[in-house]
Amino acid sequence: MPDALSLFLELAAIPSPPGRERAVADRVVAELRGLGLELDEDDTAGTTGSEIGNLYCALPGDGNGGTPLFFCAHLDTVPPEGEIVPVVEDGIVRNSAGTILGADNKAAVVAMVEAVRRLVEDGRPHAGVELLLTPKEEVGLVGAAAFDESRLHARVGYVYDMAAPIGTVIMAAPHSRKLDFRFHGRAAHSGMYPEEGRSAIAAASRAIADFRLGRLDDETTTNVGTIRGGTARNIVPEWCGFEAEARSLDDRKLADVVEEMLEAATFAASLAECDVETELSEDYRGYRFKRDDAVVRLALAALERTGHEVRLETTGGAADANVFNERGLECLNLANGMTDIHTPNEHIAVADLDAMVDVTLALIDAAHA
């Protein structure tokens, strides 16, 4: 059985929901230390709420020039809703137990670790390689945000965190804002004195109805994800809160749609004679690359060298790459063949596991040239 597949089957079977990554981290640490490498776990667990800090490993370059690279993958998955029993059927790895597989992002972990193995065992020349494995990516890029990026010698890096065919290069990812609304009305008995009440739920509902939700254009989306409120069936609800978000590849569009949502909430509250509190926070910053940026040029060279058709695309999602780009590094997200992530049908081809090892080595070779 190929080394990449063996390791993937082992890691995938270890549950690692956000904050509970210790078991899978220990297995990866053992794998890398078995190659004689030194790993460092930072002290961010206390602030992130994870069982682990970020894992960092550096392989010094051979001193012959080139561009050092860092590779980043996250160790957590969305929470599985049952046992994870990976099986291989017709060259495809699936979970036979009816929940997620965890290819997101353990397929990336395996590709990077296996590439490092080959670097070490083959004595392959390189300009310097750093490996960073983060916790709690699935709940807001928490581990990467807590990492001290000044520890990285490389200024160019890659994540593999896009469910699409290998060869897909993510050239832009969105900015995102979180909006939290809490409406305050007045409680009253709904059967005896309803006219004395002011329904916070009615006000919140009016606001949501007035929002433009979903895909607003090819760069911008909005959503209301949760809503809660009220005290009892027979009481006019004195409070109601909901959580919303807005994303856009264009920062100006994002500012406009956020302002529109805030104004709609204020207007809805006034109509219902309620008050509304709003809290606005930045979720993460977006980025956009050009084809001639160094991180893109290396990726295109590596993908072409390994025989993959290149597709330049944008995404509406975020990855650890957002954090590093915001902090002045160049970090590109490459698709690695994952399919139907976050669902019971999540799967990945064995061939794609092996192919991403080759892509990783080709990136390292291209950077050394």
The reply to whether 346 belongs to the active site is no
The CA radius of gyration of the chain, in Å to the nearest whole number, is 23
Q: How many residues does the chain have?
A: 369
Distances, alpha carbon 72 to alpha carbons 59, 63, 181, 320, 322, in Å: 14, 23, 35, 8, 12
Please identify which of the residues 21, 31, 76, 238 carries the catalytic annotation.
Answer: 76
Rounded CA-CA distance 263/268 in Å is 9
CB crowding 114-152: b at 16 or more within 10 Å, else e: bbbbbbeeeeeebbbbbbbbbbbbbbbbbbbbbbebeeb
Q: Residues near 284 by Cβ (< 8 Å), separated by ≥ 6?
A: 140, 141, 175, 176, 318, 322, 323, 326
Name the helix (H) or strand (E) containing 240.
Answer: strand 239-248
Q: Is 366 helix (H, G, I), strand (E, B) or coil?
A: helix
Alpha helices in the chain, H assignment, sequence order? 3-12, 22-33, 45-48, 103-122, 142-146, 200-210, 251-271, 294-305, 320-326, 350-368
Instruction: Take residue 340 and report the two structure tokens written for it.
Output: 């139907």
Give the number of other Cβ atoms within 10 Å of residue 304's Cβ: 14
Task: Indicate which residue of 130, 137, 138, 238 is catalytic.
Answer: 137
Q: In Å, how far are 32, 126, 132, 140, 176 from 76, measured between CA atoms? A: 18, 29, 13, 12, 21
The question of whether 26 is a catalytic residue gets the answer no
Q: Indicate the DSSP class of residue 227.
A: E
Integer Cα distance of 112 and 361 in angstroms: 9
List, by residue number, the catalytic residues.
Answer: 76, 137
